[in-house]
Structure 1
């Protein structure tokens, strides 16, 4: 299905640049600081759009508005004292609003569940209930912990590097499948990768270590959960996919070299989502699927980005 009004070239070009520079920004962070958790990567993703959040009118007469809302991850932990996990379905929700002359024509939703690629030397390491209980005390390291952090460590990304928080048979893995089956709203993995693979870095960063200047050849990639699941079908519970496995095993259209291991973020948003080739089209502003995700503070997402395109 085509968009309700064809999007002009000046708007498309600007959006490709905005989402492309977001891709580069997040990918450079994971390249330079490969130990970065997924939550700060999500925050970096969302924060990027604050710089372009003012409504913008184009020579074509179109107006574009980008707005963000960040809830954070603390709500995914239950109430004290047991702290049972409430699994989110997606970390970032994209809301697309097509308007003409201010009148709403169509609403769309895309749900992105982010997963970072782990360097080969790093075991699973994400936020836990204990981190939320301790709070800011985590920042006050004792001498032994400080010495361990300051010891030189090398981190490398290769084809064998894995998305270690994406685990088959896990509660969240099953929850996403159940959500898609029940709500009929597709979910997509937003895969955070370094700018290039292979790549390597050493922490702490030394004065002699060059800054990352390589082009973003890999970067953030988007894959439908349903298609990534086909790669993992038959794998034992507890398995996590490697970058190289996705490059070689994802089905069409990811056998195209430019889409290996997923669509680039900017291609997915501008060439697929805005062209209404992917995502979920809401039936009305009161669509139950739309309300379930965006109209509840306890909804299954951590952050939201809305993109409004208003045609003349």
Structure 2
């Protein structure tokens, strides 16, 4: 196996800065609207990363580029148990794929794929309502079917977090956890 080249420090610092900014913006979205759907967090991350996706020349001479893909929600495309051949081996291990490329001049010297999964930290008082299936189906029809108590109720919502709060959407033994384990068994320890 070829050894990795020495990646210039400004490349590492560039990616840390870009992802720190993206993390801040997505957390701000969640802080301002705690009941925001997970898919909106995914979209927000991608929106924040887009300005830095174009090839960027750094002082070291390295050129960095990112490609982003919102790969989540395969269930909307006929997910289990309705997957038809030849797609029975779809892996929904994460919702976002980020491909990172580092060039030295015209030479590609490093590439990495990152799979990311947004998960919300649930408050101790379980005040987050992210299973609003009816509202999701109504979409813009919610304009007509608006619940008059929603705005007043949102003003008084209180969220309490402590050391016992969990990322409730990803549980040991869940379908997604089993898929992650199967993926790692098939392709090596690639997902953490």
Q: Distance in 2 between matches of 1:65 and 1:53?
A: 6
Q: Distance in 2 between matches of 1:135 and 1:142?
A: 10
Q: CA deviation at 1:132?
A: 6.0
Do the aligned residues in 2 keep the contact of 1:95 with 1:109 (CA within 8 Å)?
A: yes
Equivalent positions of 1:1-312 (< 5 A) are 4-71=4-71, 73=73, 75-79=74-78, 84=82, 88-122=92-126, 125-126=129-130, 133-137=137-141, 139-140=142-143, 142-143=145-146, 145-151=147-153, 152-187=156-191, 224=192
SS at the partner of 1:155? coil
SS at the partner of 1:114? coil
Cα deviation 1:252-306 (Å, max 9, x = unaligned): xxxxxxxxxxxxxxxxxxxxxxxxxxxxxxxxxxxxxxxxxxxxxxxxxxxxxxx
Unaligned runs of 5+ in 1: 188-223, 225-312
- Alpha-carbon distance change, 110 to 72 in structure 1, aligned in 2, over 3 angstroms: closer
RMSD, aligned CA:
3.3
- Which region of structure 1 is more displaced relative to structure 2, 125-134 or 89-98? 125-134
Cα deviation 1:195-224 (Å, max 9, x = unaligned): xxxxxxxxxxxxxxxxxxxxxxxxxxxxx2
- Alpha-carbon distance change, 182 to 132 in structure 1, aligned in 2, over 3 angstroms: farther
SS at the partner of 1:67? strand
Unaligned runs of 5+ in 2: 84-89
SS at the partner of 2:170? coil
- Alpha-carbon distance change, 141 to 156 in structure 1, aligned in 2, over 3 angstroms: farther
- Alpha-carbon distance change, 166 to 55 in structure 1, aligned in 2, over 3 angstroms: same
Instruction: Provide the residue aligned with 2:87 in structure 1.
Output: none
SS at the partner of 2:119? strand
Q: CA deviation at 1:133?
A: 4.7
Do the aligned residues in 1 keep the contact of 2:96 with 2:116 (CA within 8 Å)?
A: yes
- Alpha-carbon distance change, 104 to 12 in structure 1, aligned in 2, over 3 angstroms: closer
Q: Distance in 2 between matches of 1:169 and 1:185?
A: 18
Q: CA deviation at 1:72?
A: 5.6
Cα deviation 1:43-72 (Å, max 9, x = unaligned): 111111122233221222222223333356
Structure with the larger strand share: 1
Cα deviation 1:160-212 (Å, max 9, x = unaligned): 2221111233222212211211222521xxxxxxxxxxxxxxxxxxxxxxxxx
Do the aligned residues in 1 keep the contact of 2:98 with 2:114 (CA within 8 Å)?
A: yes
Which protein, 1 or 2, shows the higher relative CO under an 8 Å CA cutoff with sep ≥ 6?
1
Aligned residues: 184
